[in-house]
Structure 1
Amino acid sequence: MNIRRFEAADMRQALNLIREELGEEAVILETNKTDEGVEVTAAVDFDPAMYIQPENSQSDLVAPAPQDSRLNTEPPVSSYEAIAAAAAAGAAPPAAEPPAGATAVFTPEDESVRCMLEARLSRLIWDDMRSRNPAAANIMRNLTRLGLTPPVVETLMARAGDVRELENSWAGPIRWLKESIPVTAADLVMHGGVFAVAGPTGVGKTTSIAKLAARYALHNNADDIALVSADNYRIGAREQLETFARIINVPVYSVPDAAKLDQVLSGIDKRLVLVDTAGMGQRDERMRDQLVALRESSADISLLLALPANAQTATNQEIIDVFAPANPEAAILTKVDEATSLGGALSALISADLPLAYICDGQRVPEDLHLAVQKLSWIVKLAMDCMKDHAGRIGKDEMAQRFIKVAVNA
Structure 2
Amino acid sequence: MNIRRFFGKNAREALAQVKQALGEDAIIVANRSVNGGTEIMAMLESDVDASASQANAEQGSEQTRSLLDFVHAKEQPRQATPVPAPRAVQPPAATVSEEASVNESAIMDMLKQHSEQQEHAYQLATQTLEEKMQGMMVEMRQMRSHFETQMSAMTWQHHLQHSPAKSKVLGTLLAANFSASLSRQIAEKMPQHIDVNKAPMWAKEVISRNLHTLDDEDALLDRGGIYALVGPTGVGKTTTTAKLAARYVMKHGTQNLGLITTDSYRIGGYEQLRIYGKILGVMVHAVKDEEDLKIALNELKNKHMILVDTVGVSQRDQAVTEQLSMLSRADSPIQKLLCLNATSTGDTLTDVMRSYKKHDIAGCIVTKLDEAAAIGNVLDVLIRERMRLFYTTSGQRVPEDIEVADKQALVERVLTPHQASLPYQYLDEELPLVISSMMQTASQEQPHV
Normalising by structure 1, what TM-score? 0.68
Q: Which amino acid aligns with 1:342?
A: I
Distance 1:265 1:360 in 2: 27
The residue number in structure 2 matching 1:150 is 180
> Do the aligned residues in 2 keep the contact of 1:230 with 1:254 (CA within 8 Å)?
yes
Q: Which amino acid aligns with 1:221?
A: G
Q: Give the secondary-structure state (helix, strand or coil) at the position aligned to 2:387.
A: coil
| Residues 1:133 and 2:196 are matched in the alignment | no
Distance 2:395 2:323 in 1: 28
The residue number in structure 1 matching 2:367 is 334
Identity %: 28
> Do the aligned residues in 1 keep the contact of 2:257 with 2:306 (CA within 8 Å)?
yes
| Residues 1:288 and 2:321 are matched in the alignment | yes
The residue number in structure 2 matching 1:349 is 382
The residue number in structure 1 matching 2:289 is 257
Q: Give the secondary-structure state (helix, strand or coil) at the position aligned to 1:359.
A: strand
Decide which of 409, 428, 448 is 1:378's aligned counterpart. Answer: 409
Change (3 A) 1:297 1:165: same
1:146-199 superposed Cα distances (whole Å, 9 cap, x missing partner): 1112332244345x4414323132111111111210112121234321111111
Change (3 A) 1:381 1:359: same
1:251, CA displacement in angstroms?
A: 0.7
Q: Which amino acid aligns with 1:332?
A: I
Normalising by structure 2, what TM-score? 0.62
Decide which of 366, 388, 398 is 2:420's aligned counterpart. Answer: 388
The residue number in structure 2 matching 1:162 is 191
Q: How do residues 6-405 of structure 1 correspond to structure 2 at under 5 angstroms?
A: 103-104=132-133, 105-106=135-136, 117-157=147-187, 160-169=189-198, 170-187=200-217, 188-268=220-300, 269-372=302-405, 375-385=406-416, 387-389=419-421, 392-394=424-426, 395-396=430-431, 397-402=433-438
Change (3 A) 1:144 1:164: farther
Task: State the structure with more CA Rg.
Answer: 2
Q: Give the secondary-structure state (helix, strand or coil) at the position aligned to 2:316.
A: coil
- The number of residues matched between the two structures is 305
Distance 1:329 1:120 in 2: 42
Q: Give the secondary-structure state (helix, strand or coil) at the position aligned to 2:255.
A: helix
Change (3 A) 1:226 1:110: closer
Q: Give the secondary-structure state (helix, strand or coil) at the position aligned to 1:297.
A: coil
Change (3 A) 1:119 1:161: closer
Change (3 A) 1:163 1:233: farther
1:280, CA displacement in angstroms?
A: 1.1
1:369-399 superposed Cα distances (whole Å, 9 cap, x missing partner): 1111xx1121122223473346612223212
1:113, CA displacement in angstroms?
A: 5.9
> Do the aligned residues in 1 keep the contact of 2:339 with 2:367 (CA within 8 Å)?
yes
Distance 1:184 1:391 in 2: 34
Moved more, 281-290 or 117-126: 117-126
Q: Which amino acid aligns with 2:402?
A: L
Change (3 A) 1:235 1:133: same
Distance 2:137 2:305 in 1: 64
Change (3 A) 1:219 1:117: same
Distance 2:404 2:260 in 1: 23
* Cα RMSD (Å): 2.7
Moved more, 306-315 or 101-110: 101-110
1:127, CA displacement in angstroms?
A: 1.4
> Do the aligned residues in 2 keep the contact of 1:337 with 1:361 (CA within 8 Å)?
yes
Q: Which amino acid aligns with 1:381?
A: E
In the alignment, structure 1 segments of 5+ residues that lack a partner are: 1-54, 57-99, 406-410
1:273, CA displacement in angstroms?
A: 0.8
Change (3 A) 1:110 1:151: closer
1:212, CA displacement in angstroms?
A: 0.3
Q: Which amino acid aligns with 1:376?
A: K
Distance 1:390 1:343 in 2: 15
Moved more, 272-281 or 146-155: 146-155
> Do the aligned residues in 2 keep the contact of 1:146 with 1:391 (CA within 8 Å)?
no
> Do the aligned residues in 2 keep the contact of 1:233 with 1:279 (CA within 8 Å)?
no
Distance 1:103 1:319 in 2: 39
Distance 1:249 1:278 in 2: 23
1:358, CA displacement in angstroms?
A: 0.3
> Do the aligned residues in 1 keep the contact of 2:173 with 2:415 (CA within 8 Å)?
no
Q: Which has a greater percent of helix?
A: 2
